[in-house]
C-alpha cells in the first residue's frame, strides 16, 4: 500500500509574496486525492514543496517519517524513490525517444540490466496504453500521448506516491476522461497514494476519494469528497459551477462591492449562461475498468469516513449515508432507515440552501459499534 503524506502548517512565500499559509492536510495512504484551485493559487508550488523541489519557510511535510521540508539532500534522495511525478507538460527530454525517456529513472537510480529495464519499460508502456510508440520522439506524438509517456516514466520505480500536476491540461474532454480512468485503474493495480492537482471540475467530481481547494493563500478545505462537493462555501460553489458570480475574479479575487453588485444583478434574474449546467451534489465515483482488481482504498476510506461521520457537515454526512450499500449498513451497525431529505436547491449566486441542517437526527439514524471489526 502507498504511504501517507502528512502536511502541517506549511507556509510558502517568494520574497514578500505569500503563496499560501498554514496549509494542513493528510493524504491518506493508498487513496486518491485532488487539490483544486483557481489559476495562480499555488497548486504547483504545493506539489513541488511535497517533492522537496521548493522549501517552505514554515511547517512540515512528513513522508515515511522524514520531513521533506527540513531533511538533508541524502534523505530527500531516498524519499524521492517513493515518489513518481507527472509534471504538467510531461517534462520529457525532447531529444530522447519515448523508450529512453521512460527508462531514464531506471538508468539513473538503479543498477538494473538493460534486459530488466526493457521488461519494466514494456510493462509500464502497456499500462498507459503506449505500446508501439517506444521509438517515437516526444515531438512526434500527441499531447495526450506525451502525458501518458510522462505517467509511464513516473511509474517505473514503482512509486508509493504518485503526484500529477494538471494531468488534464491541454487534453480534450475525451482524452481527459481516459486519463481519469487510467489514474483510477492505476490506483486499483498499485494501491499507491495519488495526488492530482487540477482545475478540471469533472476530474474533481468523479475521480478522487478526497478533495481540497486552495484559495486566497489558504486551504479552503480538504477532506472526503462529499464535504467539498456539498459545501455551501461561496468560493467552492462558484468554482464547481464555473461561474463568474462569486468571490473569484479574473485576477483571482474580487472586492466586496463587486460581489454585492453581481449578486444583485443575478438576483434580479440576470443569470450567467453557465448556470444552465447543474453541477450540484455528489456524482458516482469512477470505478476501475472491468477485470481489474477492486480498489483497496474504497473499503479503507469508507471505514475512515464512517469513523469521522459525526464531525462532517450535514450535507456531506447525508451523502455518505446515502452511498452505503445494505452490506455497508450492516457492517457499520446502522439500524434505522435513512430519513428522507429534500434535494439541495441552488440559488442564483450559488450557495446551497435546504441542505440538511440537522446533523443530530441523521446521527440518530445509525447506532455506532466499535470500529474496525467485521461482523
Ligand atoms: N520559483 C518561483 N519564484 C517566484 N514565484 C513563483 C515561483 N514559482 C511559482 N511562483 C509564483 O507562485 C504563484 C503560484 O504559482 P503556481 O504555478 O503554483 O500556481 P497554480 O495554482 O499551479 O496555477 P495554474 O493553475 O495556472 O497552473 C504564482 O504567482 C507564481 O508566479
Would you state the cell numbers that stand for residue 169, as one nine-digit string? Answer: 491540461
Return the sign of the alpha-carbon dihedral for residues 192, 197, 202, 205: positive
Most confident option among 28-37, 210-219, 247-256:
28-37
Q: What are phi and psi of 318, to 5 degrees?
A: -60, -40
CATH of 5-227, picked from 3.40.190.10, 3.40.50.300, 3.40.50.720, 1.20.1050.90, is 3.40.50.300
Compute the distance from residue 334 Cα to the ligand 1 centre, in Å.
Answer: 46
DSSP at 310: G
* pLDDT over 80 (residue 279): no
Compute the distance from residue 19 Cα to the ligand 1 centre, in Å.
Answer: 8
* pLDDT over 70 (residue 323): yes
Give the alpha-carbon dihedral of 153, 156, 157, 161, to 10 degrees. Answer: 70
* pLDDT over 60 (residue 124): yes
Atom of ligand 1 nearest to the CA of 199: 25
β 58-63/252-253 pair status? unpaired
Q: Does 55 sit in the ligand 1 pocket, CB within 6 Å?
A: no
Q: Is this complex's ipTM strictly greater than 0.90?
A: yes
Q: What are phi and psi of 321, to 5 degrees?
A: -60, -40
For 57, residues 6+ apart whose C-beta sits below 8 A from its C-beta are 11, 12, 13
The residue nearest atom 27 of ligand 1, judged by CA position, is 39
Tell me which of 21-25, 92-96, 186-190, 266-270 is least confident.
Answer: 266-270
Q: What are phi and psi of 135, to 5 degrees?
A: -100, 15
pLDDT, residue 167, reads: 86
Binned at pLDDT 50, 70 and 90, residue 149 comes out as very high
3-state DSSP assignment of residue 129: coil
Binned at pLDDT 50, 70 and 90, residue 176 comes out as confident
Look up cell 464555473; give the residue: 242
pLDDT, residue 273, reads: 47
CA angle 63, 176, 61 (to 5 degrees): 15
The residue nearest atom 30 of ligand 1, judged by CA position, is 40
pLDDT, residue 252, reads: 52
Q: Does 44 sit in the ligand 1 pocket, CB within 6 Å?
A: yes
Q: Does 39 sit in the ligand 1 pocket, CB within 6 Å?
A: yes
Binned at pLDDT 50, 70 and 90, residue 338 comes out as low
- By CB atoms closer than 10 A (0-12, 13-18, 19+), residue 240 is buried
Q: What are phi and psi of 296, to 5 degrees?
A: -65, -25
- By CB atoms closer than 10 A (0-12, 13-18, 19+), residue 176 is buried
**Rg (the chain; Cα; Å):** 22
Amino acid at each position: 500500500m502507498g504511504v501517507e503524506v502528512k502536511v502541517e502548517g506549511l507556509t510558502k512565500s517568494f520574497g514578500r509574496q505569500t503563496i499560501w499559509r498554514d496549509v494542513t492536510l493528510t493524504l491518506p495512504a493508498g487513496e486518491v486525492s485532488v487539490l483544486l484551485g483557481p489559476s495562480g493559487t499555488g497548486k504547483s508550488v504545493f506539489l513541488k514543496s511535497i517533492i522537496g523541489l521548493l522549501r517552505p519557510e514554515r511547517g512540515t511535510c512528513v513522508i515515511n517519517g522524514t520531513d521533506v521540508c527540513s531533511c538533508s539532500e541524502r534523505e530527500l534522495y531516498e524519499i524521492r524513490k517513493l515518489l513518481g511525478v507527472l509534471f504538467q507538460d510531461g517534462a520529457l527530454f525532447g531529444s530522447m525517444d519515448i523508450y529512453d525517456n521512460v527508462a531514464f529513472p531506471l538508468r539513473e537510480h538503479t543498477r538494473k540490466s538493460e534486459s530488466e529495464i526493457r521488461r519494466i519499460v514494456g510493462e509500464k508502456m502497456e499500462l498507459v496504453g503506449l505500446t508501439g510508440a517506444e521509438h517515437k520522439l516526444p515531438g512526434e506524438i500527441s499531447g495526450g500521448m506525451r502525458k501518458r509517456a510522462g505517467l509511464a516514466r513516473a511509474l517505473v520505480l514503482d512509486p508509493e506516491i504518485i503526484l500529477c500536476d494538471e494531468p488534464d491540461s491541454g487534453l480534450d474532454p475525451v482524452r481527459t476522461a481516459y486519463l481519469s480512468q487510467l489514474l483510477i485503474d492505476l490506483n486499483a493495480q498499485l494501491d499507491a497514494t495519488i495526488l492530482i492537482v487540477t482545475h478540471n471540475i469533472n476530474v474533481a467530481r468523479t475521480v478522487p476519494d478526497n478533495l481540497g481547494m486552495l484559495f486566497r493563500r489558504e486551504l479552503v478545505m480538504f477532506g472526503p469528497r462529499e464535504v467539498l462537493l456539498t459545501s455551501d462555501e461561496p468560493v467552492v460553489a462558484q468554482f464547481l459551477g464555473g461561474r463568474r458570480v462569486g468571490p473569484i475574479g479574473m485576477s483571482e479575487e474580487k472586492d466586496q462591492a463587486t460581489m454585492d453588485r453581481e449578486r444583485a444583478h443575478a438576483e434580479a434574474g440576470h443569470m450567467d449562461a453557465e448556470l444552465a449546467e447543474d453541477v450540484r451534489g455528489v456524482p458516482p465515483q469512477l470505478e476501475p475498468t472491468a477485470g481489474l482488481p477492486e480498489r483497496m482504498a474504497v473499503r479503507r476510506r469508507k471505514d475512515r469516513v464512517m469513523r469521522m461521520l459525526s464531525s462532517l457537515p450535514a450535507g456531506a454526512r447525508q451523502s455518505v449515508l446515502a452511498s452505503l450499500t445494505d452490506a455497508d449498513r450492516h457492517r457499520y451497525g446502522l439500524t434505522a432507515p435513512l430519513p428522507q431529505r429534500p434535494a439541495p436547491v441552488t440559488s442564483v449566486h450559488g450557495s446551497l440552501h435546504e441542505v440538511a441542517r440537522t446533523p443530530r437526527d441523521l446521527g440518530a439514524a445509525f447506532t455506532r459499534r466499535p470500529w474496525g471489526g467485521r461482523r
